[in-house]
Amino acid sequence: MLRDAWIIAIETLSWMELRRLNERSALMRTTKQLSIKDAGAIRLAYGLVVETTRCKNLIDKFINTVTAPKKIGEYTQGIQAFLRLYTYQTRVTKNWGKIHLKEAQSIASLGRSILGWQNLREVEPYLGFLLTSQLAPIMEAVNETERVALETYHPVWFVEYCTKLFGKKDAAAFLKGSLNPPPTYIRINPSTVSEEEILKKLASEGIKFEKAEPLKYTYKILELKTPLNNSPSLKSGLFYVQDKASCFAAQTANPRPGHTVFDVCAAPGAKTTFLAQLMENRGDIVSVDFSAKRMHIWQMETKRMDTKIAKPLIADARVALPLTSEADLIALDPPCTSSGVFAKQPSAKWRLSPKSITNMSEIQLQMINTCAKQIKIGGILIYSTCSVTIEENEGVVEQFLKEHPNFRLTKITPDFGSPGLTNLTECRRLYPHIHQCNGFFIAKLQKI
């Protein structure tokens, strides 16, 4: 199993570099390509890939110091992946302290068997130095901003951005809080079985949980006997694995039974299924998404969650919503830089640049302008992202309000999260280090 896991991990990291794929997409491509179905090997490989990617900047800085003047990017993709995995396993997991020589020798042997001894021969002399070199001199030689970037595993530009936005102290807290994924949350679906019965069933499956106040139907997972994916209750649609921030956004919308709702950027189905649940499966939901592939997942999820009032629509919300009717509620969760979920998707932070923020905000503004045309007088528009940047959030809302004086911000309930920035205090922000969930932004706009 260990050899298969390392084969998968090396190939997955290589695909991520070549095609700029995220962890899951690259892993799926790799397992299909290699025809490896061992669930244990796949889980181990995924863990190695995610954690190695999380601290990629520090690992690369360390490797470049040892292999100087040659940089890691000058080696083949397979060698790059192996060196990163080797450094992660032998040094990062040991907190750069105790040396396990036998483990290092075993990993080197794995590398030879997977990549071939001739391919590994060029870097093999460096493996001993990677195992024994000290990190402290490297950290002492950099300036304060780069040190924070290396310590918190973030790009230097993003550290500078957060420091400017939040101030040095709050930026450091946010960056450190983004090191580890937040707790896992589930949203109970009492459409056919009562909430109390579902909770009893979960307890019988060895799932320990606690209520995520002040949200409805939302629970934090405390302990599991087996992975949630194996839960019979999950398969039968009794709950949805959904972050607390996303649950909050749906509750903020507060749809009523009988409403007409447009769920824009709807795949893979978390919003749609929760909106339908809050509507007691009475009314109409049109779920719009540009990706036919993602809408296939939406179809499976809405079926699993017994969502009866939603219809799919493949369309590009940047251009138009091909709908003649108007909605009581539109929930827009547009593509974003995902800067609030770097802990869960660490590859995202290495693909982005400051230009990415500008590009995304332009797309988001196009989408929210499109949605504004389809709302009834008195209707509600929920705008949310899993990003913390001001351009994608308050910036989009401010520009939207300038262009649409017939919309106003309205108070969000329940009272949860932190106020929006730039005096948009009616908006809500959620932060990993404060609210123990994904970083998130929510604005509630009413057409007047």
Active-site amino acid positions: 386
Identify which of 170, 109, 92 has the alpha carbon closest to the alpha carbon of residue 418. 170
Using alpha carbons only, give the angle 278, 280, 281 rounded to the nearest 5 degrees. 110
CA distance 115 to 135: 27
Residues in CB range of 37: below 8 A, 6 or more apart: 31
- In this structure, what token pair is assigned to residue 407? 């919309």
CA distance 138 to 118: 31
User: Following DSSP, what letter does each residue of 139-185 receive, concatenated?
Assistant: HHTS-HHHHHHHHHT--HHHHHHHHHHH-HHHHHHHHHHTSSPPPPE
- Sign of the dihedral through C-alpha 239, 240, 245, 250: negative
Q: Which residue has the tokens 């080696």?
A: 75
**Which letter, b or e, does each residue of 202-239 get, where b requires 16 or more Cβ atoms within 10 Å of its Cβ?**
beebebebeebeebbbbbbbeeeeeebeebebbebbbb
Helix ranges restricted to H, 329-431: 347-351, 354-372, 394-403
Q: Which residue has the tokens 């390509």?
A: 33
**Which helix or strand (DSSP H or E) is residue 384 part of?**
strand 375-385
- In this structure, what token pair is assigned to residue 206? 């060895």
Identify which of 392, 402, 352 has the alpha carbon closest to the alpha carbon of residue 372. 402
Output the CA–CA distances (angstroms, integers) from residue 300 to 117, 267, 268, 270, 289, in the order listed. 46, 11, 9, 12, 15
Return phi, psi of residue 121, to 5°: -60, -35
Residue 194 carries which side chain, given as an amino acid letter?
A: S
- Sign of the dihedral through C-alpha 48, 50, 52, 55: negative
